[in-house]
Structure 1
Amino acid sequence: MPAIIRLTLFKIPDPDLVQQAVQKYTTLNQVALKDGKPYIQISAGHTTHADPRSKGYTFVARTVFLSKEDMNYYDTEDEAHAEIKAMLKGKLEEGPPLVIIMGG
């Protein structure tokens, strides 16, 4: 089964918070555990270039999962992901992030 690639685009106005998000997503695949083991294949966080085509998005998170079940676990039960959500809660412009899911 092909991997599921998920891109999440955020509008984070605070550059310091963007850098914190980059750090969190850079280590996410090492600290996020399911059944006591890492389950996220790849995770990375990237700042965007200041360009009108970015439409105000300042940060992109990339996560890769082996299955839809792993992605669902990430959304509903993963403690490391919950920490990131708590860190960003109320600090985004224009509501929730844009999530794009490919593959699977």
Structure 2
Amino acid sequence: MAWILLALAIASEVVATTALKLSNGFTHLGWSLTVAAGYIISFLLLARVLKLQLDVGTAYAVWSGAGTAAIALIGAAFLGETLTPVKVGGILLIIAGVVVLNLAGGH
């Protein structure tokens, strides 16, 4: 159950961060409300995950790492941002770090 809630927290954070870009500096009310709601939901879910069973280091690494990777890909696919080989390498390093944390028994 904790991993499902963590996935929902990640999805909510990704929606909020994407909306942050689309809010145009909080000048668009709808996107600005989406930012606020998305981050609130994400943090509530993350707090629930930590209460259930996951170690804070593992949960936060997965939450931030997956969110970072997803946002970089969304930015490249939909927001006209560049995805250079260096960025791809950085994303792969983040994913590798999360895998190492999990293999080390951090959950």
TM-score by length of 1: 0.29
Higher helix share: 2
Greater relative contact order: 1 or 2 (C-alpha under 8 angstroms, separation 6 or more)?
1
TM-score by length of 2: 0.29
Higher strand share: 1
Which is greater in Rg? 2
